[in-house]
Every structure is written in structure tokens, then in C-alpha cells.
Structure 1
Amino acid sequence: MTLTQAAPTRVVRPGLSSAGLVTVLLGAALPIIDFFIVNVALPTINADLHASTATLELVVAAYGISYALLLVVGGRLGDAYGRRRLFFIGLMAFTVTSLLCGIAPSVDMLVLARALQGAASALMLPQVLSIIQASTSGESRSKALGLYGAMGGISTVVGQLVGGLLVSANLWGTGWRPIFLVNVPIGLVGLWLARQTLPESRSENPHGVDRLGTVLLGVSILSLLVPLMEGRALGWPVWSIVLLAVFPLAVWGFVVVERRIERSGAMPLLPPSVMRMPSMRRGLMVGVPFFAGFGAFMFVVAVTLQEGLHFGPLKSGLALTPMAVGFFTMSLVSSRFVTRFGQRVVVAGAAFQLIGLLVLVGTVAMAWPLVTVLDLAPGMLLAGIGQGLAMTTLFRVVLSRVPTEIAGVGSGVMTTTQQTSLALGVATLGSLFASLIGSVGVRDAFMTVIGLQAVLTVGVMWFARRLPDPRG
């Protein structure tokens, strides 16, 4: 469920055929489906590869970290060298890395392959909106963007159900591996379609790649998240303490470099001037806790359903489906609510999520260990409705005050923050959950972490009141 940057272009727009639109939407759907499939399969991966809970966090977060780090870079490479070309390269890399994930002999190799898969997605996904923008106009563009928005919700539902089905089927005794291997034939079809149907386009004035900023951002993210996820499980070895000490230095270096690049007239990775915009600053105050909570939620629920309640993968997928349906439905109608109610839609979405979280906590407290899929459905549905309202609206509200000429840059900032926050949620709340399981049990660990997410949601509601009104 991501939004990617779409850099403006002034070149003549070659048309995007229906087959071409299907192709780019396929490219947008695959990484989202993969995110949710992995969550459903985590306990099965654990049983097969004997991974610790901390390492399972890395299986989830490695993808998001590399995706967040290279997202803006991927968009700029597409602007400079051709969006069709980068989409093709990204899809090819995604197909190959999916194969590597599917045949990974150890959990360490799986984590590495997941990081490479995230990097491939970062090359591919920014091109989707850029291709749509560069090759459509008027009603065709509105229709294409509407389908793109709906694709996020559809992919969520498909990811839950297909993931549960594939893992439960245990095809030829391969367990969790088909959730990755299924991407290979789909990717090959997508590559053929991309070569046949997509028009080429590039920006007349592409921005260069901020290499030093990208490296420093990567060091900043890794020096924080890796120790948080692995340090506790390993007894806080010296290297984890050293990395945490590196974190503030890397952040300081990143800020200095970004300011220097912007003063020189070039375009840094995350422009400080954009970060200082009131709408962007307020949007980040809402987005960081919201997306961090969502990332933790998906990880904690996946482990609780299968290891705590002993649901199978298919049953776990069914338990999560009401949330996905709620998200999908709201993603289709949220724009109408924004037209009428403005930024208050984000507040309402957070309120729905808060009620859903509290219902889930109450359900688990009263019915454990005999919680059923139907017991969980009301809380999951309410949480999904809230996530669909808030998540799809937040980008629109924040970017409504970003000047058109840097809309792609603003979108890149928001999406990088989104993906980093998802990984941060797994690293912090996910690690807390893992540490509590051994002392208080899965039920109380679940209630504690989801309760903390509810507190974060209250903060989201408070800060969302100060978001700008997208209606002007």
C-alpha cells in the first residue's frame, strides 16, 4: 500500500494502451501482494528455517528498508534513462530476487534476498505513476489513477488469501516457498507485456542521483534498525552498541550534506526546504506514528494468530481478510469524503482504527484461547476501514500544499518516510512483542503492543487536526 513519486514531464505523451495500463498495474500489485503474503507465512518460515523472532522481523523489515532507501533514486533513474527501461529492469530484478527468496537455503540468505527484492521494487514502482502521468491525460488519466488507487486495496486482499492458500497447500512439500516462486511466471509474463505495450518517456530536465545522501541515509537507517531488531536477542553485543552510537553521527552527516547540496542549487535526496514546509512537517508528525503502528500491527498479528491461537496459514489469511476488505472499500470512496470533509477524514480514519484496536484487545482478553475468525472480524474490519481512510487520504492532504513543480519530490519524501516507518514499527514494537512473549505469554504481549499502538493512534488523531485542508 504505497504511493510513489511521479516526476513532472513536458515531453510529448505517447499513448498508454489498455494492455500497457494492465502491465504497470501488475507491476504495482506484485510488491504489495508480496508484503502481505510474507506476513501470513512468517510462522511457517520460522518452523522450516528455525529463525528467531528477531530474524523474522528482519525478513519483513529488510524489504522495507531497501525499498525506502532507493525509492527516490529509482524515480530519478527513470526520469533520466527512461521509465519503460527502468520498469523493465526493476521487474526483471524483482522476478530474479523472488526466485532467490523461494530457494533460500537459510534464513540469513532469505533476509538478503528480501533486501534485494525491496531494491528491485524501488526501481520498478516509481515508474508506474510516472508512466501513467507521461502517457495519459484528461479522463484517461483519471481512470488510470483511480485503478491504481484501487489496486492497493485489491492487492491487500489477494495477498492475504493467496498467501494462506499457497502455504496451506504445501505444494510438493515446499511449504512457504511458493509465495515467492509464484512471482516468477507472473514476472516473466509481465516482462513480455512490458516490452510489447509500454511507451518510453523520460524527463527533459532530470535530477541527478544524490549518491552521498543515499549512502548516509542508508547508514542512518541500518545503524538504528538492525541493533533494535537483533541486539536484544543476541544479548546486546559490542557491534550493536557501536551501531547505535553511529546513528546520531550518520543523521547529522546526512542533514549537513542535504543542506549543502540544496544550497548549491542541486536536488538532494530529501530536500530540507520540502521537509520544512508546514504541510509536510505536520504530515510527517502524523505519518511516522501511523505507519510505524501499522508495520508493527501486521507483524504482531501474524505471529499471534499462528503461534498463539494456532491458526493455520489459510485461517490466518481469512482472519485478516475483513481488514483488507475494509481498507479496499475505503480506498475507493475516500476521495469523495475528502471533497466534503477535507483533512477531517484522516482524523475519522484514525478514530475508526482506534476503535478497531480496542475491540481486538477486548476480544482477545475475553475469548482467549478460543478466539475464532468471526470473533476477530469486527475489530479487523473497523481497523481496516480506519487504515483505508487515513492512509489513502494522508498523502493527498499533505501533497495538496506542495507546489506542482516539486510534487514528485514531495511524494518521494512521504513514501520514503512511510516505508522507513513501517520498518521502524517492526523494529520497536515488534521487538517489544518478541521480548514479552517469553515472560507474559502471547496473549498479554499482543494486548500490550496493540494497546501501545492505540496510544499512538490517539496521537495521530491529535496531530491530524492540524493538517492543511486540501480543499483550499
Structure 2
Amino acid sequence: MNALEKRSIAALASVYAMRMLGLFMVLPVFMLLGEDLAGATPALLGIAIGAYGLSQALLQIPFGMLSDRYGRKRLIFCGLVIFAAGSLLAGASESIYGVIAGRILQGGGAIASVLMALLSDLTREENRTKAMAIVGLSIGVAFSASLFLGPLLGALVGLSGIFYATAGLALIGIVLVHSVVPTPVGKNTHLDAQPAKDKLRQVLSNRRLLRLDFGIGALHLVLTAAFLVVPVLLRDQVGVPATEHWWIYLSVMGLAFFAMVPFIIIGEKRRMMKPVLCGAVAMLALACFALAKLPHTLGFMWGGLFFFFMAFNLLEACLPSLISKESPAAAKGTAMGVYSTSQFFGAFVGGALGGALLEHTGVEGVFALMVVVLLIWLGLALTMKRPSHASSFMVQLVDIKGRGVQAVDSALRDVPGVEDVVILVDADTAYLKVDYRQFDAASLERFAFVRP
């Protein structure tokens, strides 16, 4: 990578991480600190926790498409300002309704796909996968950090202080994008990085992708619902003060991260993603059942949370990889957009439905929801076909029209390891789906229509 790429990736990954950190820091403390809000009930607290997911789900794809027309940076600034405004509104509110409005406004800054599009504008093709992996890593680190930083910050400055800190992170993000991230010379449509309207029908009719979309929705439904009950159990049943919850989350997340790494390696290297996925879903369901039924002592709760977050981290790492492999050529960006929409919608449903169940049926009802949803997902995972192991590969072309689109398409399909080809004539680009065990990129050099 050159200096410009390194600078762009570091800044955009930081913006993404700070935004996710702000969204998730309230999760482990909201049910404990939100009890003092005027009008608070378990159902309304649940809606407040998941409310950001509704606006995120509705605006995720439109924001990405609008950035093509109005510019990447302009949409990012707009999204971060909306996010900061929502954080300030939630922080200043003394009632649950004001916090719900603030959380909805927070989610209105749905700039994830715009950040990815800008990242694609500023990186070369050979470095783009690595750049996106760095951003993905930053998101994982931000989520893990939020679970112990939230209780620490909540003990110092309370719920309002967490929201104000979140607004501060958004303003830092604006400064980073303005002063550190270069402005690209021109906007390009990167179909592997951003959604496209003409690809939506193709993605939404793909049953293999829809199973994965249901999976990420179910995963974040369960995560959000878990934080409706786990913090209260730790305080009221286990007897751990809210100010001490941070060390439980820190120790659990740290060990769970290292525990799941071998399974990622097995799934990718040995092409056993389906058994790994099904095993992780089963483990998550068993962990939820154990958290509900086993005695609520520190040892049992810690063990249940360890297996919960081990399975969660494993699934959070596996699912984007599977989406990338299963998405049609030239539709990865759209597939990821639908995937993200499903993720945030799942968080909203988990908060809203979980809160309603907590109010009317108690803790048992919330855990029952989690287990039932996971069992449905497990059934879908067990009956799905073995996942593809193809990856996306983009090729720049020259003189396509002169040589004939059909001839170029046939020549590329004859290359060993190439499973699918989509040629964009106006962009002089071909999107391939390739199996790297058979595909050698150097084999394309023999074609005169491939740009050196």
C-alpha cells in the first residue's frame, strides 16, 4: 500500500469504529441506568435499545446510492451530523420517549456503505480486500471494547454522559474525514463495495443469500435481547454491582475471541464452513438455554456468557465471508447492503419484541424468544447446500466492444477456476467469481483485452 492508501484506510476504519463504539456502549448498561428515565417500562426500554436499528435498516441502502449522486464526503458529513444530533438529543432527554427519538435519529446516519464506497475510491483493486478486512477488524475491536467501556463510562458519567461521549466521537469523525481522508478525483461505482438498484432483485431472489440474511438478523436479535436481561441478572441475581460488570465482559470477550479463532481457520482452510456455522448456532442456542435455566451464580453466568460470545464472535466473522462467497458476480455490494439491513432490522426486533416479552412474561419469555429464533436458524442452516468457496475478482479491460463482449466473456469463462463472469461494457470492467484453489490471476496476462 502507498502512503495515501494507508492514511485513508486508517482514518476511515477509525471513523467506522468510533461510530460503532458509540452505538454499542449503551448496550450493557441501558437497562440498569435507563430505569430512572421518566415513563420507563421494560417494553419502552427495549424499543429504545433497538430503535437505532430501524432507521439504520431503512436508510442503509439509500445512503449508499445517494453518495453516487451527491458525493461520498458530503453524505458522510451529513450522516455523522445526524448521528451526533441523535446522541445529543438522547443525552439531554430525561424521559424514555426522548431517548427513543434520539436513538432513532442516531440510526439515521446510516453511512456504512458510503464509507466502504469511499474506501474503494481511494484504494487500488489489489489492496481493496485487505482494506475492507482492516475495517472489519476495527468493527470487531470496537464492539468488544464497547462492552467493557460502557459500564466503566456509565459508572463515571451516567447514561447521559455516554450519549454525550458518543456525540464527541461523531465530531472527531467529521474532523478526521475532513482533514485526513483525501477527496477522490472522481466517483466510481464499485459493485463489490456498494449497493446498486439493478442488482436488488437478483439478490433478493437468491435463497442461499436470504438464509444468511435471516441468520445475521437472528444473531443481532438475540444479541439485543440478551442485553435486556443479562445486566439485570448480573446485578440482581448474581450480586455484581453495575460498576463491576466491565471486568466480566472484558474477561469473557478476551477469551472468547481467542477460542473462536481455530474454528475460523478450520472453516476457511478445510472448507468446512457449513459444519462450523451449524455448530456455532447450536452452541449459541445452548448458551441461551443455559443462561436461562442454570443457577444464576457468578460461575455459571460467566461460563454461559463465554460460550455465548464465543459463538457470537464466530458467527459474526463467518457470515460476511459466506455472503461474499455466495453473492453473484458484480452483486457483492448489493448483497452486503441487504445483509446489513437485515442485521439492523434484527436488532430493532430484538429490542422491541424482547422488551414487550420482558414486561409481560419476564426473563423466561426473553430467553425463550432467543432459543426459538436460534432453533429456526439452525434448521435453515442444516438444510442449506454446502456453501460456495468462490471469491470476487475484478479485472480492468480494454477495447471490449472492438473484440466483442461475447468473445471476451467466453475467454474469461474458459480460465480454470472461473465460475461466473459479469462484464460492464461502459466501465471496461469484468467481475469474476473464482475458486482460488484453481484460479491463477497471472493466467489473465495472456489476454490482450486485460489491462496490464
TM-score for both structures, normalised by structure 2 = 0.75
The answer on 1:186 being equivalent to 2:169 is: yes
The equivalent residue for 2:422 is none
Matches within 5 A, 1:41-440: 41-42=29-30, 43-120=32-109, 122=110, 124-137=111-124, 140-169=127-156, 171=157, 175-201=158-184, 203-204=187-188, 267=197, 271-325=200-254, 328-329=257-258, 336-342=265-271, 344-355=272-283, 357-359=285-287, 361-362=289-290, 365-368=293-296, 371-372=297-298, 374-437=299-362
- Tell me which amino acid in the other structure corresponds to 2:181: L
Cα deviation, 1:161-217, whole Å, max 9, x if unaligned, reads: 111001112x3xxx211111112333333222211121234544699xxxxxxxxxx
CA 1:93/1:377 → structure 2, altered by over 3 Å: closer, same or farther?
same
> CA–CA distance in 1 between the matches of 2:320 and 2:333?
12
Q: Work out which of the residue numbers 387, 393, 402 in structure 2 matches 1:468.
A: 387
8 Å CA contact 1:53, 1:434 repeated in 2: yes
Cα deviation, residue 111, structure 1: 0.6
The equivalent residue for 1:248 is none
8 Å CA contact 1:33, 1:159 repeated in 2: yes
8 Å CA contact 2:354, 2:366 repeated in 1: no
- Tell me which amino acid in the other structure corresponds to 1:32: M
> CA–CA distance in 2 between the matches of 1:390 and 1:271?
24
The equivalent residue for 1:10 is none
8 Å CA contact 2:37, 2:95 repeated in 1: no
Cα deviation, residue 75, structure 1: 0.7
CA 1:158/1:314 → structure 2, altered by over 3 Å: closer, same or farther?
farther
8 Å CA contact 2:288, 2:304 repeated in 1: yes
Cα deviation, residue 355, structure 1: 3.1
Cα deviation, residue 457, structure 1: 5.1
Cα deviation, residue 346, structure 1: 5.0
CA 1:98/1:429 → structure 2, altered by over 3 Å: closer, same or farther?
closer
Two-structure CA RMSD over aligned residues (Å): 3.1
CA 1:299/1:454 → structure 2, altered by over 3 Å: closer, same or farther?
same
The equivalent residue for 1:37 is 25
Cα deviation, residue 430, structure 1: 4.0
3-state DSSP of counterpart to 1:105: coil
Structure with larger RCO (C-alpha < 8 A, sep 6+): 1
Moved more, 152-161 or 293-302: 293-302
* Percentage of identical aligned residues: 21
CA 1:18/1:422 → structure 2, altered by over 3 Å: closer, same or farther?
same
- Tell me which amino acid in the other structure corresponds to 1:348: V
- Tell me which amino acid in the other structure corresponds to 1:198: V
3-state DSSP of counterpart to 2:247: helix
8 Å CA contact 1:356, 1:378 repeated in 2: no
> CA–CA distance in 1 between the matches of 2:260 and 2:6?
22
CA 1:341/1:322 → structure 2, altered by over 3 Å: closer, same or farther?
farther
- Tell me which amino acid in the other structure corresponds to 1:452: V
Cα deviation, residue 51, structure 1: 0.5
Cα deviation, residue 119, structure 1: 0.5
Moved more, 148-157 or 307-316: 307-316
- Tell me which amino acid in the other structure corresponds to 1:455: L
Unpaired stretches in structure 1, ≥5 consecutive residues? 1-12, 208-265
8 Å CA contact 2:284, 2:312 repeated in 1: no
Cα deviation, residue 325, structure 1: 3.2
8 Å CA contact 2:15, 2:176 repeated in 1: no
Cα deviation, 1:348-368, whole Å, max 9, x if unaligned, reads: 244245335535644664433
Unpaired stretches in structure 2, ≥5 consecutive residues? 391-434, 436-452
- Tell me which amino acid in the other structure corresponds to 2:128: R
Cα deviation, residue 158, structure 1: 1.2
TM-score for both structures, normalised by structure 1 = 0.72
CA 1:427/1:184 → structure 2, altered by over 3 Å: closer, same or farther?
closer
CA 1:301/1:405 → structure 2, altered by over 3 Å: closer, same or farther?
same
Q: Mark the structure with the bigger radius of gyration.
A: 2
Cα deviation, residue 445, structure 1: 4.5
- Tell me which amino acid in the other structure corresponds to 1:469: S
8 Å CA contact 1:288, 1:417 repeated in 2: yes
Cα deviation, residue 44, structure 1: 0.8
- Tell me which amino acid in the other structure corresponds to 1:104: S
Cα deviation, residue 425, structure 1: 2.5
> CA–CA distance in 1 between the matches of 2:6 and 2:19?
21
> CA–CA distance in 2 between the matches of 1:93 and 1:118?
8
8 Å CA contact 2:153, 2:162 repeated in 1: yes
The equivalent residue for 1:22 is 10
- Tell me which amino acid in the other structure corresponds to 1:176: L
Cα deviation, 1:328-353, whole Å, max 9, x if unaligned, reads: 447877764443243x4354244245
8 Å CA contact 2:151, 2:246 repeated in 1: yes
Cα deviation, residue 128, structure 1: 2.1
User: Which structure features the higher share of helix residues?
Assistant: 1
- Tell me which amino acid in the other structure corresponds to 1:177: S
> CA–CA distance in 1 between the matches of 2:323 and 2:219?
14
Say how many residue pairs are matched. 385
8 Å CA contact 1:279, 1:467 repeated in 2: no
> CA–CA distance in 2 between the matches of 1:31 and 1:347?
33
- Tell me which amino acid in the other structure corresponds to 2:144: V
Cα deviation, residue 272, structure 1: 2.7
User: Which structure features the higher share of strand residues?
Assistant: 2
Cα deviation, residue 14, structure 1: 10
Cα deviation, 1:251-293, whole Å, max 9, x if unaligned, reads: xxxxxxxxxxxxxxx936x823321124323323444434433
- Tell me which amino acid in the other structure corresponds to 1:40: P
> CA–CA distance in 2 between the matches of 1:126 and 1:330?
30
> CA–CA distance in 2 between the matches of 1:37 and 1:296?
15
- Tell me which amino acid in the other structure corresponds to 1:305: L
- Tell me which amino acid in the other structure corresponds to 2:336: S
CA 1:399/1:359 → structure 2, altered by over 3 Å: closer, same or farther?
closer
8 Å CA contact 1:328, 1:388 repeated in 2: yes
- Tell me which amino acid in the other structure corresponds to 1:35: L
3-state DSSP of counterpart to 1:108: helix
